[in-house]
Structure 1
Amino acid sequence: MTSQKPDQPSHTTSKIARSAGAVSGAVMCSRVLGLIREQLFAGLFGAGYAYDAFVVAFRIPNLLRDLFGEGALSAAFVTVFSDYDTNKGEKATWELASTVLIFFAILLSTLTLFGIYYADTIVHLLAPDFDTVTGKTALTTKLTKIMFPFLLFVSLAAVVMGMLNTKGKFFVPAMASSFFNLGSIVGGVSLALIFPHFNQPAIAGMAWGTLIGGAMQLCMQLPTLMRTGFKFTPRLNLKDPGLKRILLLMLPATIGLSATQLNIFINTNFAASCAEGSVSWLNYAFRLVQLPIGIFGVALSIAAMPVMAKQAAEKNMAGLKQSFISSLILVFSLTIPATAGLILLAEPIISLIFEHGIFTSFDTIRTAEALQFYALGLFAYSAIKIMVPVFYAINNTRYPVIGSFIGVGANLIIISLLIDHLQHRGIALSTSCAMACNFFFLGVILLKKLEGLPLAYLGKGLLKILTATLVMGGAVWFLQLQIQTWLQGPIPLQALGVFLLVGCGGGVYAISLQLLNLPEFTLLTSKVRQRFCKS
C-alpha cells in the first residue's frame, strides 16, 4: 500500500471539475424545481393520507427506475459504450446504442404492463398497514397504475444520457430532469385543479403530471443526441457482444442495487407502521438531502465516470487512481460542510420551504428531525456514487453487490433496535448508518484492488475540510443566535435570514479552505478567476 502524494491536480482532474460544474448548474436547476414541486405537494396535500399514498405509489416505479435505469443500466452502458467509442469506431458504437435502446424498450414495456396488472398485490407488499385506513390502499393502487409507465420513459432517458456523457455532452442531459420537474409541476398542478370537477382525486392529477414529466425528460435529449451523429438502426441483435457485456455487467449491479431497493422496501414498511405522516416526513426530508447529493455526488459521478472508464480502457491505472482520489476529495469538500449546514439549519429551511397551506409547524419539526439524521450519511451517499464507477472501470462489480447487502444487514439491525424509541427518526438514522457501512467496505476493497491509494494525501485534504467546516459551523451557529427573531417572523424575513446564514456559512467556508490551500479547491477558484479576468 502506498501513501505517496500525487502530483497537483492534473488536467484530468480539472476536466472532471469543469464537467461537474456544468452538471451541477443543471442539477441545481432541477433540484430547485423539485423543491418547488414538493412545496406544491406540501401546500396542497400536507403530510398524511393523500401524499403518503402518492409517495408509496411513486416509489414502486421509481425503485425499478433506480434498478434498471439510472443505476445498473447507466453505469454498465457508459463502461461498454466508452470502450466501443475508444477502440471499435463510430459505426459499431452507434449500432450497439440502437440495439440497447430497442432491447430495453421491449423489456421495460413488458415490466410496465406486469406492474400495472399486479399493482394491488405490490402495494399490499410494500405498505400493508395502509389497509387500516379506509380507501388508502385503493388510492395508492390507482396512483401506481398511472405512474408505472414512468419507468420506461426515465430508463430510456438514462441510456440517452449515458451516450451524451460519453460524447462529452453533460449540460443538456443533466438539464433533462428539470424538464421532468417542469412537466410534473405544470401538468400535475393543472390536472390536480381540474380532476375534482370530474370526481377524480386531485392527487391523481399529480400522478399524471409525473408521467408527463418522464416523457419530457426523454424527449428533450433526443435533438442533442442526433447532433452528436447518432444513427438509429431499427434492428435487434441479441448476439451483439456489447449487449451481452452490458447485461453481464448489469447482473451483479442489479443484485447490488436490489439490496438498496430492499432497504427502501424495509424503510417504507416500517414508516407505514409509524404515526400517520411518517412516510411524508421522511420523503420531504430525503428530497432536501437529495439536493446536495445531486449537485455534488451525482454531478461528480456523471463527470468522472466517462473519464475513469476511458483511463481503464487505456490501461492508465495511475491516472485512474488520481482521478478517483481527487474526485473523492472534491465530494468531501462539498458534502461535509453541507452536512453541518443541514444539521444546524434544518428547521428554518423546512419552515421556509414547506410550512404553507396545510403543512403545519408540527410537520416542520418532524421533517427537520428526519433531515438531520439523513444528513449524517450525506458524505457516504455521495462518495459511493464516485466509488462504484471505479469498480465498473476495472471490471470488478461483485464488491458493490456485497457492500449493498452489508448495508441492508446494518439497516435492518439498526432500524429494529431504534424504531420503537425513535420512530421515523430511527429510519433516517439507520439509512445513514447503512450507507456509511457500505462506504467503508468499498473503500477498503478499492485500497486492495488498486494496489494502494495516496492515503496521506487524502487524509491531509480531509483534515483541511474538517477544519474549515468547524470554522463555518461556529460562524453559522453564532449568527443564527443573533437573528433568531427573523427566522420566526414573516416569510420575507425568514427568507432573508436563511439566505444570510447560508451565504455567510458558504463564504466563511470558502475563505477558510482557500487559506488552508486545498489543491482541488484552489484549482477551482483559479479557473473561476481566469474566466472572470478574460471576460
Structure 2
Amino acid sequence: MRSTAIVGTMTLISRLLGFVRDILIARYFGADAATDAFFVAFRIPNFLRRLFAEGSFAQAFVPAFSAGAPAIRNLLAPLSGTLALLLFMVSLAGSFAAPLLILAFAPGFQASAETWDLSADMLRITFPYLFFVVLTAMAAAALNCVGRFAIPAITPALLNLTMIGMTLWLAPRLEEPITALAWGVLAAGLLQLLLQSFALKQAGLLAAPRCDFKNRSVVRVLKSMGPAILGVSATQVNLLIDTLTASFLASGSVSWLYYSDRLVEFPLGLLGVALGTAILPHLSGTHARRDPAAFSHALDWGLRWVLLIALPATAGLVFLAPALVSTLFQFDRFSADDVTMASRSLACFALGLPGFVAVKVLTPGFSARHDLKTPLRLGLHSMAGNAALGVVLGIVLAPEGWGHAGLALATALAALWNAAALVTKLLESRIYRPQAGWPWFLTRVLGSTLVMSMLLAFNVREMPWQHWQHFERALHLGLWIGAGTLAYFATLWLSGLRAPHLSLQAAG
C-alpha cells in the first residue's frame, strides 16, 4: 500500500503537469490539421513511452531483477550496453523511414501533402525518444526491485515540463511553431535518462555498459520483451489503431481522441499504473517463495481497489465529460464544437476504464510466474476485435459526427473483454482464488456509484459550461467533483465499508 501511494502521488504530479501541457497546446495550437500532424508524430513515441515507462516493460525486467542488488548490478552492465546498441540502430532506421511510418499509422494523411510532410518532419525529431525511454524503463525496473519507487514514478513529469517550456519559449521563435513540441519530446528523453542514471548511482546499481549478445540472462530478457510488452499493452496498441482509423475521418478527429484519452489516462495513471508497478515485485517475490496463497491474496486486494476507484471514476468521466473538456481545454483556438466532439469520445473511452485498470493489475499475475504467452495471446485477440469493431463503428457513426467516438467505444469494449479473459484464465488455473466477501463488497461499491451517478446526472447536464468564464467553469467543476466524491464515499461508509476491509491483510 505504501509503494502504491508513492507511485500514485508521483504520478499525480506528472498527470497534473500533463494537464497544464495539454491546456497550453489547446490554447496555442487548437485542434486542426497541424495539431493532428503533431499528435500522430507524438503518438508513436508516446505510445512507446506508455509501453516501456508505465510499468509494462517491467513485466520483462522485474522477474530477472528479483535476485537482489548485486545480481541486478551484474545484469545491468551487459543488458544496458546490448540494448543501447540495438536501440541506436532502430532509432536511426525509424528516423530515415519516417514517411513510411506515417503511411502505416496515419494513411489518411495522404490526402494532404502539407500534413503528411509536417508529420514526417516531426517524427524524425521525436523517434529517437525510443532510445532514451527504453533505457530509462530498464533503470526504473531495477530501482523498483530494490524498493525505490519515487524517482521512476516522477520521471515522466520531465516530459511534461519540457514540452511546457518549449511551448512558451521556443514555439514563438520558429517558422512552424508546433515543431517546438517535437524538440521538447527529444530533449525530455535525454533528461529522463540522466535522472534515472543518477538514481541508479545513488542506489549503488550503476554499472559501466558493455555489449554482450551471448550473455544468457541478456538473451532471456530480450526474448521476453516482445511478449511482455504486447501482453500488457493491448490498450495502447488499440489507441494507436484508433489514430490510424481517425486519420480518415473529419479534420480534428485525431486531436479530439487525444484530448479525451488524456482525461481517461488521469485515473488510469493514478490507480492502474501505481497498482501494477507496486504489485509486480510483490507477486514475483511470493512466487519465488512458492507461496500461492499470498500470491492469490495480492491479486484479490488489487482487484478490489480497481473496482473501488475505477467504477466511480468511470461514472464521473461520463457525466462530467462536457464540463471537464470545456474547463480544461476551451481556450482561444479550441472551439465549442471541439468541446462537443471531444466530450463524445471521452464518454465512450471512460466506459472501458475498469478494463484498462484491471489489465494493469491482472497481467503481473502471469508475468510474475514467467507466463508471457497467455496475456500476449489474449492481447492479440483484443487488438483484432478492436480493429474490426472500430472500423465498423467509425464508418457507421461518422455521418452523425460520432465516428471518432465509435473508435473510442471499440477500444473500451476491447479493454473490458481483455480484462474479463485474463480473470477467467487465472480462475480456471486456480492461480487466483477470490476471497470471501465479494458479493458484499460489490453491492456496496455499485450502490455507492449509482448514488453518485444520479447526483451528477440530474444536476450537471443542463449547466451552461461553454458560456461561463474560465473561473466559473473551474469553480463549478471543482464543486461537483467534490460533491460526487463526498456522495460516493459517504454512501460507502453508511453501507458499512471501512478502510481495514481494504488492507492486504484483510484480503488474506
Corresponding position of 1:457: 437
Check 1:278–1:485 CA distance in 2 against 1; reply closer, same or farther (3 A cut).
Answer: closer
| 1:30-45 paired onto structure 2 within 5 Å | 30-45=14-29
Deviations 1:432-462 (A, max 9, x none): 0111111111110011223451165334322
1:184 aligns with 2:159: no
1:133 matched to 2:89: no
User: Do 2:12 and 2:270's aligned partners in 1 also have CA atoms closer than 8 Å?
Assistant: yes
What residue is the counterpart of 1:530 in the other structure?
none
Q: Report the alpha carbon displacement of residue 268 of structure 1 after superposing the two structures with TM.
A: 1.9
1:345 aligns with 2:320: yes
2:400 equivalent in structure 1: none
Counting only pairs closer than 5 Å after superposition, residues 391-406 of structure 1 correspond to structure 2 as 391-406=366-381
Give me the TM-score of the superposition, normalised by structure 2: 0.93
Describe the superposition over 1:256-310 as per-residue Cα deviations: whole angstroms up to 9, x where unpaired.
Answer: 4686565344322210111110011001100111001000110111111111111
Pair 1:430 & 2:410 matched? yes
Aligned to 1:237: 212
Tell me, yes or no, if structure 1 residue 420 matches structure 2 residue 399: no
Unaligned segments of structure 2, at least 5 residues: 398-402, 504-508
**The residue matched to 1:92 in structure 2 has which SS?**
helix
Q: What's 1:491 paired with?
A: 470
Alignment partner for residue 358 of structure 1, among 333, 338, 354? 333
Work out whether residues 80 and 209 of structure 2, in 8 Å CA contact, stay in contact via their aligned partners in 1: no
Structure 2 counterpart of 1:375, which letter? A
The partner residue of 2:492 within 513, 518, 525 is 513
Q: Secondary structure at the match of 1:453?
A: coil
Per-residue deviation, 1:495: 0.8
Residue 353 of structure 1: how far off its partner (Å) = 0.5
TM-score under structure 1 length normalisation: 0.88
Contact 1:188–1:210 under 8 Å retained in 2: no
Shift of 1:189: 3.1
What is residue 73 of structure 1 aligned with on the other side? 57
In structure 2, the CA distance between the partners of 1:43 and 1:185, relative to structure 1 (3 Å rule), is: same
Question: Could you tell me which of 325, 350, 353 is aligned with 1:375?
Answer: 350
Cα-Cα RMSD: 2.1
Partner of 1:221: 196
Letter paired with 2:318: I
User: d(CA) in 2 for partners of 1:303 and 1:452?
Assistant: 18
- Name the aligned partner's letter for residue 489 of structure 2: A
Determine helix, strand or coil for the equivalent of 1:239: coil
- Relative distance call for 1:414 and 1:451 in structure 2 (3 A) is same
Query: What CA distance in whole angstroms lies between the structure 2 residues aligned with 1:54 and 1:486?
Result: 28
| Residue in structure 2 matched with residue 441 of structure 1 by the alignment | 421
Q: Distance in 2 between matches of 1:431 and 1:410?
A: 9
Report what 1:97 is aligned to. Answer: 76
> Counterparts of 1:20 and 1:254 in 2: how far apart (Å)?
21
Counterpart AA for 1:99: P
Instruction: State the match for 2:12 in structure 1.
Output: 28
C-alpha contact 1:27 1:295 (8 A) present in aligned 2? yes
243-252 or 406-415: which moved more?
243-252
Matching of residue 322 in structure 1 with residue 323 in structure 2: no
Q: Residue type matched to 1:178 in 2?
A: A
Contiguous gaps of at least 5 residues in structure 1: 1-16, 525-535
CA distances 1:452-478 after superposition (whole Å, capped 9, x unpaired): 511653343222211111111222334
Deviates more, 1:495-504 or 1:168-177: 168-177
Give the counterpart of 2:45 among 61, 66, 73: 61
Query: What letter is aligned with 1:39?
Result: I
Please tell me the residue identity of whatever aligns with 1:184.
M
Which amino acid letter does the alignment assign opposite residue 232 of structure 1? A
One-letter amino acid of the structure 2 residue matched with residue 515 of structure 1: L
- Per-residue CA deviations over 1:399-453 (Å, capped at 9, x if unaligned) read 1111111112221232233122321111000000111111111110011223451
| 1:138 Cα offset (Å) | 0.4
Give how far 1:81 is off: 0.3
Contact 2:18–2:160 (CA under 8 A) maintained in structure 1: yes
Report the alpha carbon displacement of residue 133 of structure 1 after superposing the two structures with TM: 1.9
2:251 maps to 276
Q: CA deviation at 1:485?
A: 5.0
Moved more, 67-76 or 219-228: 67-76
How many residue pairs match? The answer is 499
Task: Work out whether 1:468 is the aligned partner of 2:448.
Answer: yes
Q: Please, which moves more after superposition, 171-180 or 508-517?
A: 508-517
Offset, 1:71: 5.9
Deviations 1:485-506 (A, max 9, x none): 5774211111110000001111
2:95 partner letter: I
Per mean C-alpha deviation after superposition, the further-off stretch among 483-492 and 235-244 is 483-492
What residue is the counterpart of 2:506 in the other structure?
none
CA distance in 1, matches of 2:502, 2:417: 31
In structure 1, C-alpha distance between the alignment counterparts of 2:330 and 2:287, rounded to whole Å: 49
User: What is the alpha-carbon distance in structure 2 between the residues aligned to residue 208 and residue 170 of structure 1?
Assistant: 28
Amino acid corresponding to residue 381 of structure 2 in structure 1:
I
Deviation at 1:115, TM superposition (A): 0.1
Q: Is the 8 A contact 1:355 1:364 kept in 2?
A: yes
